[in-house]
Structure 1
């Protein structure tokens, strides 16, 4: 099957992460000891704490975020933040998760910490933590966010999640006929009628650990016999389904086919159990140049009346906290199988090898 370019980039990504980890651990002299200025505010709450952060942020004047969130959503989010804190100028660098990681890690190796906040996926979150490039930050706004989306040390907190859904074109597949479970997807009638992303090793790995290796490998080997078409990019897959060029895909970011449906496309969705969640994680960088402004940004992004509310209502991103008005409530379930940094990070090389072998990626 196709996907050799994606496979090559995945291998490069694994090797780069491994090499950078070794280099940084073997020579950490280039990094100053971070006293974490924010710790002195740990006992403060509410308006008193915010005022102290504001005083510091006014002196800093800006905050820099490196983000994998789509720029047409990231920029309005930062504009909204600046409305609340007009004395802070938000600056951003946007790339995919690998690009964000590579830029930040390379700068860190050169002794530069230009980013204050990182917005990135699970695997890169784990690696940055292992490299010692993240500072713990237990934001008061974490309160009310389920434990599946936070870590105990405060190194990361997820602010929204990509809820994984099957999307299908209703002109090719009538809703009553669509598969309602992973097991139904194995029906031979779906052979050659669906797509997968060649870079979904994290979703594959989450199910492998959840189901157990024997069951998962048997399932995915049977799925591979149905000749899925490999298409890079969840948005691209959704768009092709909307256009009728692909009939269905089981691992879409659910908000996108629902957006297309709102726009009139013949698209519908189904959630398979367990419902996978692939979150976006916010991190405070070690040696941040603008720690007070960074803290305000993270606090606001996690707050129920801040960034989470904005993303949920305007763009349909599913927040990690409950109780908010959501554009796509269909994606809200009681429990998700969350792709966590501590799951994906240590096992990414194995997940990639198995996924590529099963689906013939790179051959």
Structure 2
């Protein structure tokens, strides 16, 4: 197994005659020394909430025997991903335990650098990766460059149809619902707005409602509501004087700390804080915007059969249980999130990867509405 990450903060170590690149814990000692700081202590608590999981025991799923035999001959697969290193390493370890004849090369980085790497490799005539997964922003540039192949995994039959591309270019392997979180010490549950329109009540004006600086929710609502209605709503919301904040993790932290009484953010982050005893709960405002995190097959994979084997594993029951164990939301009907209401019991609209093509224009509109730079 070869673990790769962006060049910063890497070191080589020898392990069982294999070279493994491990991420240095830059600043670790410094963080330890700063634990007396209340702000850092809270942030450490938040990280523990996000990355701690239950004891791990995953079910075994069967794989197509012909595909397995073909993958044995290839002996390798290359996976590019934006999934956290903690999660992706466990996925690789479990995949290799099940298929020890396939060595996995893992490269993990952010969406922007990963997109740039893939496109630069393609321009140079190189096709280093077999499977790619991560933020939906990856899809459009790779699709336009004809770097994604069609593949409909047999495992997709255990998923809702709106989480699988009809043409077979992508399949979700986790999702992020955007909901309304609230601080239970500040807002009583019976007072929490139950609809988008209820947030426009004059009593919430100037109350520092947390909203993301990303236009994703506005963009996803446009196909459902229509551009005119969606834009008008967000202009009314902006008139309430909310507080635009960069990133759902920070939004969740500030909500827990009492900086926001209400906030739009990621359901799984709010739920994790609630589970750990933080004064945070959440409600779905219908339709709930669901952001898809897709997995995709390379158009020119060097290891096509091993690639399909890994792709299947990611959305198979075993792979989805790993996703769930890291406090993310699985997508299979037989692997429910904890609690199930994270993905059930409400109407939803999907932020399909294809929608990112026109997101820059919506982002410009959103910046104008909320007076962002």
- Structure-1 separation of matches of 2:282 and 2:310: 33
- Divergent runs of 4+, >3 A: none
For 1:68-126, what per-residue CA distance to the aligned partner results, in whole angstroms no more than 9, with x for missing partners? 22222222222222221122232322233223222211221222222211112334313
- Structure-2 separation of matches of 1:104 and 1:259: 34
Q: Is the 8 A contact 1:255 1:328 kept in 2?
A: no
- Greater shift in the superposed pair: 257-266 or 190-199: 190-199
For 1:113-149, what per-residue CA distance to the aligned partner results, in whole angstroms no more than 9, with x for missing partners? 2221111233431331122010111211111322211
- Structure-1 separation of matches of 2:372 and 2:98: 47
TM-score by length of 2: 0.78
Tell me what 1:195 maps to.
210
Q: Is the 8 A contact 1:122 1:279 kept in 2?
A: yes
Tell me what 2:284 maps to.
271
Partner SS, residue 93 of structure 2: helix
- Structure-2 separation of matches of 1:185 and 1:71: 37
Shift in Å, 1:243? 2.3
- Structure-2 separation of matches of 1:225 and 1:205: 19
Q: Is the 8 A contact 1:158 1:282 kept in 2?
A: yes
Partner SS, residue 81 of structure 1: helix
Q: Which structure features the higher share of strand residues?
A: 2
Q: Is the 8 A contact 2:75 2:103 kept in 1?
A: yes
Q: Which residue of the other structure, out of 286, 291, 311, is the alignment partner of 1:298?
A: 311
Shift in Å, 1:283? 0.3
Tell me what 1:337 maps to.
349
For 1:172-229, what per-residue CA distance to the aligned partner results, in whole angstroms no more than 9, with x for missing partners? 2222222211111112332242222212x23211112211122111110011112222
Partner SS, residue 281 of structure 2: strand
Q: Which residue of the other structure, out of 326, 329, 333, is the alignment partner of 1:322?
A: 333
Partner SS, residue 348 of structure 1: helix
Tell me what 1:6 maps to.
none
Q: Which residue of the other structure, out of 54, 62, 66, is the alignment partner of 1:52?
A: 66
- Structure-2 separation of matches of 1:82 and 1:185: 49
What RMSD, in angstroms, separates the aligned Cα atoms of the two structures? 2.0
- Structure-2 separation of matches of 1:351 and 1:266: 33
> Number of paired residues?
311
1:82/1:248 Cα in 2 relative to 1: closer, same or farther (>3 Å)? farther
- Structure-1 separation of matches of 2:256 and 2:267: 13
Residue 105, structure 1, aligned to residue 142, structure 2: no
Q: Which structure features the higher share of helix residues?
A: 1
Structure with the bigger RCO (C-alpha within 8 Å, sep 6+) is 1
- Structure-2 separation of matches of 1:96 and 1:361: 23
Shift in Å, 1:58? 2.6
- Structure-2 separation of matches of 1:165 and 1:130: 31
Tell me what 1:358 maps to.
369
TM-score by length of 1: 0.80
Shift in Å, 1:318? 2.4
Q: Is the 8 A contact 1:206 1:344 kept in 2?
A: no
Residue 92, structure 1, aligned to residue 106, structure 2: yes
Shift in Å, 1:257? 1.2
Q: Which runs of 5 or more residues in structure 2 are unaligned?
A: 1-60
Q: Which residue of the other structure, out of 281, 288, 294, is the alignment partner of 2:301?
A: 288
Q: Is the 8 A contact 2:330 2:336 kept in 1?
A: no
- Structure-1 separation of matches of 2:160 and 2:176: 16
Q: Is the 8 A contact 2:289 2:350 kept in 1?
A: yes
Q: Is the 8 A contact 1:166 1:272 kept in 2?
A: yes
Tell me what 1:207 maps to.
221
For 1:269-295, what per-residue CA distance to the aligned partner results, in whole angstroms no more than 9, with x for missing partners? 111100111011010012112222211
